[in-house]
Structure 1
Amino acid sequence: MKYKFIIILFFNAIISCGGNSDDDIEKQNDSSVIYTPSNEVISNPERGFMHLWSVKSEGQPITEAVLNDLKSENVTIINRLYYLEAFKNSDLSAAQLNLIKTDFERFRNAGVKCILRFAYTDDIDGEDASLNIIESHLDQLKSLVSENSDVIAFVQAGFIGAWGEWYYSSNGLANTEGRRAVLTKMLEVFPKEIKIQVRAPLYKQNIFNYSEAIGADVGYGTSDLARVGFHNDCFLASADDYGTYQNVSAEKTYISKEAFFVPTGGETCPPTDVPIASCSKSEIEMSLLKWSYLNLDYYGPVLDEWRANNCFNDFQRKLGYRLSLKTGNFKNEVSENSNYQLNLVIKNVGFAPVYNVKKSFLVFKSKDGTTYKRELNLDIRKVLPNVDYNLTESVNLSGIPAGEYQLFLKIEDSSEALKERSEYAIRLANTGTWESSDGMNNLLHTLKIN
């Protein structure tokens, strides 16, 4: 009896210890990370303040020195406006095409992207080109823009009227029929992954004969409707932004909904019947309309107002997307050739989502620097502003040998030519996570594969 009693006490002691139950062992194998958000102004592709640099026919390409200086300004995109005033009645010359090609090469070398626009005049009373000439020029540009689509962030519709703003036309193109013809040709010429921006919301509605904003079922596709966004070159400059809007409230609501899927951006200009926009009003508008980029060069007094009232840097942080990690839940150990459950919460504190398709990977890095990449199903475009995004994926570990690995999240350009370039990878807005040499975000967790 005495021995039986001792054995019972022994087993009771094991049970009361609690540390060896399946649930407790499972809990011991879990780790949680709370990530610290960063307040730093950081550079990320296809967003932020940009410079507008125009060039006349057969002019000089942008110098590499000027492009390299952009890093000190945290600028990753430039609006390149090509004036084709010498070719209103003829084909584009070899010199003109070479100018554009050289610019593309230099954009790529410098790690930046461009927002393209073409126009024939910078004079309200000036002449643009006929539809036949525009279509012919687009045919000439087709191979060039296709080969260099990786460094084109967006395209502003252009071609029609002064500055390519679609308002004036000496050739009768400033109407729905003319605008539709130019836009249709552009959608044909530019690769399907490139989005084209028109000058006013009604232009898109009239061209496609619709009024309800597109939803996710259309917005994440590559149909013509899903490829057309908006640029506003007189943002906050009057009650209707110099005629950008007809029904201001309704059209802003429409853009706000569509801008989950297509980009908005542009520049300010001299205010007329309104005061210079305050920080608070500007933030409300940028948030509502999901602004991705804004001209750093114009209009100076508006930008100075923001600098004087300490919101310029905040806008520099928030224009476009600003993604940050909130929390992560990880297993500490797993078996070789098993599946690994990734659980992250990502927040977008920027004004807009990411618009261009990216590829995302969970990267396993060993102590000797060897890396293994596993592509995720994550569509980073769906990390919407001010909404927590729960990234939960099962990642197959087949082919990764036993050992200890640091975990990283890499969000890279979808282009084969740019995927290894850290300048084109998305940096998350957290402290102590960015690895600039590899363009990866450290998840601050080490996994042991047994």
Structure 2
Amino acid sequence: MKNQLILLFFIVLLISCSSNNEPDKEVVDDTVSEITYQASTDVISNPERGFMHSWSVASEGAPINLVTLQSLKNENVTIILRLYNLASFKNSDLSAAQLALISTDFQNLRTAGIKCILRFAYNENQNDTDAPLNIIQRHLDQLKPLFTDNADIIAFVQAGFIGAWGEWYYTTNGLTTLANKKDVVDKLLEVLPKEVKIQLRTPLYKQQVFNYSTAIDASVGYGTSDIARVGFHNDCFLASVDDYGTYQNVTAEKSYISKEAFYVPTGGETCPPSGIPTASCATAGGEMALLKWTYLNLDYYGPVLQVWRTNSCFKDFQKRLGYRIALKSSTLKKEMNANGSFELNITISNTGYAPVYNTKKTFLIFRSTANATIYKKELSFDIRKVLPGVDYELKESVSTAGIPAGSYDLLLKIEDASASLSDRSEYAIQLANKDAWETTTGLNKLSHKLIIN
């Protein structure tokens, strides 16, 4: 008996020691789903970004053709630059016909599901005259009602009005003094709704107008103060060392734009290179990433665009101009009790060159698997803060009050902040994930089913 007890003691000891030397076993929580999302490789059409077309129209000219606008989806184009030449009104009010032209353009843009970048100028020849300041101010007063009524489909406004092509050069009315430039900027900011951002031709113009040189930060950038509403457009991108005078101190001003463009948009067009080779794919991509380019003219300058097509980077630029936001992973509960809080835990990436600049509304959608009834819960999440190259952790408690017990598919909707466009999928943001987008609803699938008990 004694020997049996001793043997039993050693067996227990051996088992204990063996157990202590085993590695810790992973505890699997079967109450949650851990999901890894697959990124899409497609060119995705999203609002207020990408390659654009640029169309100029003479005073009292023809409106944009609706069929042409509707065909842009075949090119993955969602924005156009509309340049209004006001040459007939250098010394008078805008006519009823001119205002009607602009109004019709807005109507056609809205019908087609397109947004526009606006610019106004008084000539398209450096040897021609522009308009005096008082006329510019009067025209902006006339345009104000149109801006107010159509702010929802205005992506951005290039400052324009001064000089040939509205590029703030070659003025015949002395408008390039700091006082006059400031007057035009102030008037633009006054007549445009607060949510609309404008763009100046060079970084130095903004620094001069606002009398500062250090880039704004998030505490200012996400607000609607005047300085937070002004970005940049460059109409000679990659054309020379200083982009035909766009920069005075190239390194410092590019660094400034790079920081400022977390909050305000940068875009424009290329033009014939001078003194440097036509921009390679690597050079162009590096500059777009540094300066956070959000849109680029598809119509000019052709030889530069052709280099990108020939060298197979054009499609990559189609994907990355502006924002390209995707789900990376999520950890989501499988079940919960009614009238509780659902914990949203999602990692989001942005592989585009720029962030989203205009405010959006984001909703977590609960869609019944039984009858497709939808329940929308607005999130406090601000998609503008999903910055290029930085993973964003979206963690938010979402009340399920008012949602009955049942089984639900979860989806995200990122819609236009304007009520007039909120139900239109063309103006919703499509996440760059494979098999996630619903074209007709504008919803992005989270690939998760939730049971509410």
CA distance in 2, matches of 1:52, 1:178: 27
CA distance in 2, matches of 1:400, 1:268: 52
Q: Find the counterpart in structure 1 of residue 256 from structure 2.
A: 254
Q: How does 1:381-396 map to 2 (within 5 A)?
A: 381-396=384-399
1:333 equivalent in alignment to 2:335: yes
Q: Structure 1: where are the runs of 5+ without partners? A: 1-22
Opposite residue 158 of structure 2, the aligned amino acid is Q
Q: Deviation digits for residues 109-149 of structure 1, max 9, x if unmatched? A: 00010000000000101110000000000000001110000
CA distance in 2, matches of 1:283, 1:254: 18
CA distance in 1, matches of 2:175, 2:439: 47
Q: Tell me the SS of whatever aligns to 1:27.
A: coil
Q: Find the counterpart in structure 2 of residue 430 from structure 1.
A: 433
Q: Tell me the SS of whatever aligns to 1:28.
A: coil
Opposite residue 412 of structure 2, the aligned amino acid is L
Q: Deviation digits for residues 248-302 of structure 1, max 9, x if unmatched? A: 0000000000000000000000001110000000000000000000000000000
Shift of 1:28: 1.5
Q: Find the counterpart in structure 1 of residue 98 from structure 2.
A: 96
Q: Structure 2: where are the runs of 5+ without partners? A: 1-25
Shift of 1:426: 0.3
Q: Deviation digits for residues 296-318 of structure 1, max 9, x if unmatched? A: 00000000000000000000000
Compute the TM-score of the two structures, normalised by the length of structure 2: 0.94
Q: Tell me the SS of whatever aligns to 2:426.
A: helix
Q: Deviation digits for residues 203-234 of structure 1, max 9, x if unmatched? A: 00001110000000100000000000000000
CA distance in 2, matches of 1:437, 1:47: 21
Opposite residue 276 of structure 1, the aligned amino acid is T
Shift of 1:177: 1.4
Q: Find the counterpart in structure 2 of residue 194 from structure 1.
A: 196
CA distance in 2, matches of 1:410, 1:189: 31
Q: How does 1:279-428 map to 2 (within 5 A)?
A: 279-367=281-369, 368-428=371-431
Q: Find the counterpart in structure 1 of residue 76 from structure 2.
A: 74
RMSD: 0.9
CA distance in 2, matches of 1:413, 1:257: 26
Opposite residue 324 of structure 2, the aligned amino acid is R
Opposite residue 389 of structure 1, the aligned amino acid is Y
Q: Please, which of 29, 32, 44 is the counterpart of residue 30 of structure 1?
A: 32
Q: Find the counterpart in structure 2 of residue 171 from structure 1.
A: 173
Q: Please, which of 176, 183, 186 is the counterpart of residue 184 of structure 1?
A: 186
Compute the TM-score of the two structures, normalised by the length of structure 1: 0.94
Shift of 1:27: 1.6
Opposite residue 249 of structure 1, the aligned amino acid is T
Q: How does 1:38-49 map to 2 (within 5 A)?
A: 38-49=40-51
Q: Find the counterpart in structure 1 of residue 155 from structure 2.
A: 153
1:439 equivalent in alignment to 2:442: yes
Shift of 1:58: 0.2
Query: Displaced runs of 4+ in structure 1, greater than 3 A?
Result: none
CA distance in 2, matches of 1:366, 1:175: 62
Q: Please, which of 137, 140, 143 is the counterpart of residue 138 of structure 1?
A: 140
Shift of 1:61: 0.3
Opposite residue 217 of structure 2, the aligned amino acid is G
CA distance in 2, matches of 1:447, 1:366: 10
Shift of 1:175: 2.2
275-284 or 167-176: which moved more? 167-176
